[in-house]
Structure 1
Amino acid sequence: MSLETFWFVVVAFFWTGFFVLEGFDFGVGVLHTVVGRDERGRRTALAAIGPFWDGNEVWLIVAGASMFAAFPAWYATLFSGLYLALLLVLVALIARGVAFEFGEKVTSPRWRRTWTWAATLGSGAIPLLLGIGLGGMVAGFPIDADGEFTGNFADIFTAYGVWTGLTLLSLSTLHGAAFLALKTHGAVRERSRAVGVRVWLATLVASVVFAAWSPAVLSVLAAVAVLAAGALLRAGREGWAFSATAAAMAATLSSLFVDLYPNVLISSTDAAYNLTVSGAASGSYALKVMTVAAAVFVPLVLLYQGWTYRVFRARVHDSA
């Protein structure tokens, strides 16, 4: 395997890890007003992701940074073309984080209602917008011979990209419901299971259509994992259900990068203008240095994050 291909796999790994880990955070943010029907219930739902959500967001930063360092041409074209969409993602991330941190600081109903909506809408917007961008990489954006994005904001909304966004949003919602069923006690746990069963069918439909649209076999495995997650939630096997939704998310993200390779960005203008793995990569020396750094630090980060999940593995009670 060449270093260019290796780093394409690393970028795919970071994006996949981000959605597997942060996906359930998004789902909890979307569902916390549904499974928590009073202030106490909403606090319980958000407390379940309290130790994890900000650490999980680091994966997004690392995914973007690895694209910038390993494939500067890919980063430059994609991020300039998706500039407005990524600005909206940034606003959603900020609003969501502020809502989690400051939503309970003032007892005013209007204050809490405002930040509740910020958390809900921000959590839903992020997987939708990122999915539109990731799916658009496969469907193709208007790119010229110089690797420049020549379209406008409307051109980022490809049919495949929009469906990818809807699929990731629905997967995140199901992933979050399974996480809450696994991580909470009492009424919130029961409502999370019930909501998970309700959103399961919509998620299955989205995954099946995505699988039919995508040539990668992994997308079929994602649909199978969603099917299993529904059965496991009904049976009260929350741990296995959460594992199934995590597998579905991982397979969906991985299938996008499998479909994309050996390109990093498809041109809808002319196939000759596609950005390829070898053509968009940094120099050999830079990739070697990055490989050494990744070999040292990525295992440390994984060990630390695994330790964090172990420490905070206990269920959250309704009294939280």
Structure 2
Amino acid sequence: METLAIALLAFFAAGWFVLAGADIGTGMLMPWLGRNDRERRLVLAAFAPFFLGNEVWLVATTGVLVGCFPTLEGELLSGQFPVFVALLTGWIARDAGLWSRGRGPGPRWRAGCDTAVTCGSWTVALSWGWLLAALLTGRPHTPATGATALLAALAVAALFAAHGLGFVTLRLTGLPYERARGLVGRAGRPWQSFALTAVLMGGLPLWAGTSLPLADWAASSATLALLVPALLVVTPLLVAVQAWIWHAFRHRVTGPSYL
């Protein structure tokens, strides 16, 4: 059961990085991709149908962590408290900007919401890099510091941005697409960049997990015997819903969204 619990944690964590990393990376690049209000709305429309469904994967990851690895969850929550504060602050700012953008009185309101989306996305990406730096050194009980933390945060943020760039080459049209395609390069097919960054993004939590004694931190056999089968039943449904969303919105966006 411990092996299945570890596999489920790895699956949900990798899935979140691949799926949600695309919309976070897109938000990081929004000021560069969209130079006016209509173009920024087009950029938002590229990931608007996905971002709520993508967040479900983080909820699932958290649920597996709390239920199947309570000792690790306690270590992370107490030891990485400043990191989680930064992460949640960025997340709230980003989502508040997305939900509030289309409900304000004018251009200044929308510009402020766009700033919240961009700054929040950068904060989330940098915070994940900060957290992964601690996990990769096998020290979840204390935040990473010094050059290691800085380099890890910047490298992970750059990977988030590259992943978002690959994503929008599959979704955008018009001038925002031309800007993204020009940076990615016109050699090869657009999906190749996204596929490469997806592999790298999915590998981040798996790499971090190899540095931790997850089996030693697993819950009791009785708890795992109750939780793991339930998760195995729910997981195919989650995958099926996610696949349907990506299939339903597989076409490029040609007009602004409601955001």
Same fold? TM cut 0.5: yes
Q: Paired residues, what number?
A: 257
1:89 to 87, 90, 115: 87
Tell me the equivalent position of 2:229. Answer: 292
CA contact (8 A) 2:83 2:127 kept: yes
1:48 to 46, 49, 54: 46
- Matches of 1:289 and 1:140 in 2, distance apart? 29
CA contact (8 A) 1:93 1:126 kept: yes
CA contact (8 A) 1:136 1:158 kept: no
1:129 aligns with 2:127: yes
1:248 aligns with 2:200: yes
Q: Which amino acid is the alignment partner of residue 181 of structure 2?
A: R
The aligned runs of 1:1-320 (5 Å cut-off) are 3-141=1-139, 149=141, 155-157=143-145, 159-195=147-183, 197=184, 233-235=185-187, 237-258=189-210, 260-261=211-212, 263-264=213-214, 277-278=215-216, 280-318=217-255
- Quote the offset at 1:107 in angstroms: 4.1
- Quote the offset at 1:158 in angstroms: 5.4
Deviation string, structure 1 residues 80-102 (Cα, Å, up to 9, x no partner): 11122212211211111111111
Residues 311 and 28 of structure 1: CA distance in aligned 2, closer, same or farther (over 3 Å): same
- Matches of 2:150 and 2:244 in 1, distance apart? 36
Tell me the equivalent position of 1:200. Answer: none
Residues 16 and 163 of structure 1: CA distance in aligned 2, closer, same or farther (over 3 Å): farther
- Matches of 2:253 and 2:148 in 1, distance apart? 38
Alignment TM-score, normalising by the size of structure 1 = 0.75
Worse-superposed segment, 243-252 or 26-35: 243-252
- Matches of 1:90 and 1:176 in 2, distance apart? 20
CA contact (8 A) 2:22 2:164 kept: yes
Residues 252 and 84 of structure 1: CA distance in aligned 2, closer, same or farther (over 3 Å): closer
Show structure 1 runs of 4+ deviating over 4 A.
none
CA contact (8 A) 2:133 2:144 kept: no
- Quote the offset at 1:173 in angstroms: 0.5
- In structure 2, the residue corresponding to 1:285 is in which secondary structure? helix
CA contact (8 A) 1:139 1:158 kept: no
- Matches of 1:76 and 1:158 in 2, distance apart? 24
- Matches of 1:308 and 1:30 in 2, distance apart? 23
* Structure 1 stretches lacking a partner, 5+ long: 144-148, 198-232, 265-276
Alignment TM-score, normalising by the size of structure 2 = 0.92
- Matches of 1:138 and 1:62 in 2, distance apart? 22
- Quote the offset at 1:135 in angstroms: 2.2
- Quote the offset at 1:114 in angstroms: 1.5
- Which structure has the higher relative contact order (CA within 8 Å, separation 6+)? 2
- Quote the offset at 1:251 in angstroms: 2.4
- Matches of 1:41 and 1:193 in 2, distance apart? 15
Q: Which amino acid is the alignment partner of residue 235 of structure 1?
A: A
Q: Which amino acid is the alignment partner of residue 242 of structure 2?
A: Q
Percent identity of equivalent pairs: 33
Deviation string, structure 1 residues 104-154 (Cα, Å, up to 9, x no partner): 22243322222111100111111211221122022143x8xxxxx4x6xxx
